[in-house]
Amino acid sequence: MHTAALLIELGAVIFGLGLVGRLAGRLGISPVPLYLLAGLAFGAGGVVPLNAPDAFLEAASQIGVVMLLLLLGLEYSAGDLLGNLRRQAPVGVLDLLLNGLPGAAFGLLLGFGPVGALAMFGITAVSSSGIVAKVLADLGRLGNRETPSILGILVLEDLGMAVYLPILTAVLAASGVWEATGSVLIALACLAVALVVALRWGSVISKFVSGGSGEVTLLRVLGLALLVAGVAEQLHVSAAVGAFLLGISLSNDLEEETHHRLEPLRDLFAAVFFVSFGLSTDPSSLPPVLLPALGLVVVGVLTKLVTGWVAAKRAGIAVPGRIRAGAALIPRGEFSIVIAGLATAAGVDPQLAALAAAYVLAMAVLGPVLARFADPWARAYVRRQRERAATTVR
């Protein structure tokens, strides 16, 4: 009887996610905010509380984080990351500081403490690579001149997160200043070693993992990702970072096949992760944080617009492209929820999870909408400039 109930509950959850994903496709938006809303609706304090199998959801959500970061790492080689760092480091630093510092300030003002402020820095700093990529594809802008600037910012943010996540995890796990310092140094040392291994022996790792049938390759990559993630967690580097660095280590020859086979698994477990985060957030905790979330949304939209403008301007892009670049970078998503999950699991103020949920919901919905309106805004700006110039000539 217990097995039957478990299968029914799991079937209902997964089938429901399929319906939610289809609705998101019909609406032309990312499914992330709808997954979060579903979790809020069926969690404790929701409209219809669901007696979901906690053990499965917890394990599946952890695998979802690993899969998200593994496939994200596969997008870039270590050489690509370091090359982008050299070319666009000033804009990347501006992006992280301009968007992260307001979140840290809000964290301190809301009483989350220094550790909570560090978590809020990451929550507000990073755009959602998945949502941004989908928006660019849906709007037919992948070939636009400003798109390389947008992708460059996303790559730099990913590299910044590869440094930030080990530091955050080490600080969350430490009980004192000296222990935190030691954990951070260990985490950064592991990161440096992983990048060196990726640069020098990435092809060796790829050859070891590949070979045999597609099924064998899938099992090897997935098994190695979970193994590396578990070891990274033991070293307080975070499972997410371990998976991300493994993805970087695998060569481009393996990337296409691995992506093809792992994407369905990633989408499944990532959906469970977002729903699980929503289930763990009590909807009654959202109203007290709506005003701070609104403030963060306003600031976050403006700072990403500035980031995109500066990045596109450095690349010699005209004003319409700068506006489109800034609007495309607005959505927040998977990284923000991962960071919030790490912080709340470590015992940071529970309101942080509620604030992150409200913030991501708003930005994940608002971002694609603003990106669609970027072209009309850009055309209106150009028209006003021409009219002003014509008036001046007269």
Q: CA 134 to CA 132: how far, in whole Å?
A: 5
* Closest residue by Cα to residue 185 from 199, 196, 174: 174
Query: Model pTM?
Result: 0.71
User: Residue 269: its pLDDT value, please?
Assistant: 81
pLDDT tens-digit readout, 361-385 = 888 878 888 888 887 877 777 777 7
User: Residue 98: its pLDDT value, please?
Assistant: 93
User: Residue 1: its pLDDT value, please?
Assistant: 46
User: Residue 337: its pLDDT value, please?
Assistant: 82
pLDDT tens-digit readout, 14-27 = 888 888 888 877 87
Q: How many CA atoms lie within 13 A of 264 on its CB side?
A: 4
CATH class of 55-280+290-380: mainly alpha
User: Residue 175: its pLDDT value, please?
Assistant: 56
CA distances from 151 to 135, 148, 359 (A): 12, 5, 23
**Low-confidence spans in the chain with pLDDT less than 70:** 1-2, 28-30, 43-55, 72, 75-88, 130, 134, 137-138, 142, 174-184, 186-188, 190-191, 194-195, 198-199, 202-203, 205-207, 209-214, 235-238, 240-241, 251-258, 392-394
Q: Where are the domains positioned within the chain?
A: 55-280+290-380
